[in-house]
Amino acid sequence: MHEEVTKELVKYGEKLREMEAYLEVNRRRDELRCLEVAAAAPQFWDDQAAAQENIAATRTLKQVLDPFDSIVAALADAEILAELVAAGEEGAAEELQTEVDRVISGFNELELKSLLGDEFDQNNAYVTLHAGAGGTESCDWADMLYRMYTRYAERQGLKVQVMDFQAGEEAGIKSVSLLIQGPYAYGLLKSERGVHRLVRISPFDSQSRRHTSFSAVDVSPELDDDIEIEVVDSDLRIDTFRAQGAGGQHVNTTDSAVRMVHLPTGTVVQCQAERSQHKNRATALKMLKARLYEIEQDKKRQAVDQLYSGKGEIAWGSQIRSYVMQPYTMVKDHRTDEQVGNVNGVLDGDLNAFIQSYLKKSRV
């Protein structure tokens, strides 16, 4: 037992040294020190924009350095405990296993962060859910996905803001647009783009038959203002309507919500997060630019047919992931073949296995 644990600790020690070089930990520490020195200056808040950039950069660096330092500390504690176990110290074996679990958990988190190096991976993310084929069933399925991503964001310490919400006619959600804010939000969620399929015994079927439902998920990064995406006014159709919240409750009594249609691509975005029509229009334009940027990137990756306007029906044959609750329980990602038997755990926001396997495959 002791020899096996010792070998495992040596293995993770070697992997950690490789990760230290790969992540350029020393360079990141130097950058963090410079940012902290700047933040300590008396005139730091004189330039609000620069101060916010400093805080965001500091947070991003700590997203890598903190897990790394946690692994280093856990590994050192585990090595000491391994020596105590070898010496026959009572109770040390249980503490050793706890520290080994900390090392493994921390390393998995760090490995996930190491896969997030693409442009805009560190940005916030716009996530839009659309109910597909299946009527009320699919609206309910979109509502379940909405809860799943909200719970996932909570687990990751990310903030969720509802930008637009369209309730289903009988139950659930027709569509909902979210802004998910926090370090690496887009990098973590970009793997979710595509059609999601649910198989279950329908709670809306009096005969308790098995139904298949579909919902589509679009994910795009929130772009900085210095990213140039040209949108011509003549290419836009802009409609205003009365803002509503979940359940049809009026947010206010003015036509403040904005729907923006990009005519050349057919891309539609909506925003009703603010009481001001002007603010909603500005946010909708930002969302549209993010979506148009993703479309251009998809064209470069020769995948636009699958992911956006040419992806076909939100129905059979186009799904990226299946969630089966009857006649057996399993969630399977069809791109990576990753499978998880605990469907309820996944629907409660435990998506790390699917996200990590997707990121690993995309790096191959």
Per-block mean pLDDT, blocks of 10 residues, the chain (364 long): 76 87 91 96 93 88 87 90 85 86 84 80 92 86 97 94 89 93 92 94 82 92 76 90 56 74 91 88 90 78 46 61 94 95 96 92 75
Angle at which helices 48-86 and 25-39 cross, to 10°? 130
- Give pLDDT, residue 129: 96
By three-state DSSP, how is residue 220 classified?
strand
In sequence order, the 6+-apart residues with CB closer than 8 A to the CB of 94 are: none
What pLDDT score was predicted for residue 314? 55
Amino acid at 329: T
pTM (global) more than 0.85? no
Mapped onto helix, strand or coil, the DSSP state of residue 323 is strand
Can you list the domains of the chain with their CATH numbers? 2-114 (1.20.58.410), 125-363 (3.30.70.1660)
Cis bond before residue 264 (omega within 30° of 0):
no
* C-alpha 127 chain-centroid distance: 8
pLDDT in the model for residue 302: 55
**Residue found by looking up tokens 């687990």 in the block:** 155
Cis peptide preceding 327, ω within 30 of 0: yes
What backbone torsions phi and psi does residue 323 show, to the nearest 5 degrees? -115, 105
Q: What is the mean pLDDT of the chain?
A: 85
Q: How far is CA 151 from the centre of its chain?
A: 11
Cα–Cα distance, 243 to 264 (Å, whole number): 26
Is-contact 339 329, C-beta < 8 A? no
Exposure of 18 in the CB half-sphere (CA atoms within 13 A):
8
Q: What pLDDT does residue 232 have?
A: 86
Contact yes or no for 29/124 (Cβ under 8 A): no
The DSSP string of 126-190 is EEEEEE-TTTHHHHHHHHHHHHHHHHHHHHHT-EEEEEEEEE-SSSSEEEEEEEEESTTHHHHHG
User: Do 349 and 152 form a contact (C-beta atoms < 8 A)?
Assistant: yes
The helix/strand/coil state of 27 is: helix
Whole-angstrom distance between the N-terminal and C-terminal Cα of the chain? 35
CA quadruple 238, 241, 245, 246: dihedral, nearest 10: -80
Predicted pLDDT at 250: 40
DSSP 3-state assignment of 264?
coil
Q: Using one digit for the tens of pLDDT, what is the confidence trace for 212-230?
A: 999 999 999 998 766 677 8
Tokens of 68: 């790394």
Mind listing the pLDDT tens digit for each residue in 154-206?
A: 999 999 999 999 988 888 999 999 999 998 899 999 999 999 999 999 888 77
pLDDT for 124 equals 93
Q: In this structure, what DSSP letter does residue 24 have?
A: T
Q: What is the pLDDT of residue 307?
A: 44
What pLDDT score was predicted for residue 317? 55
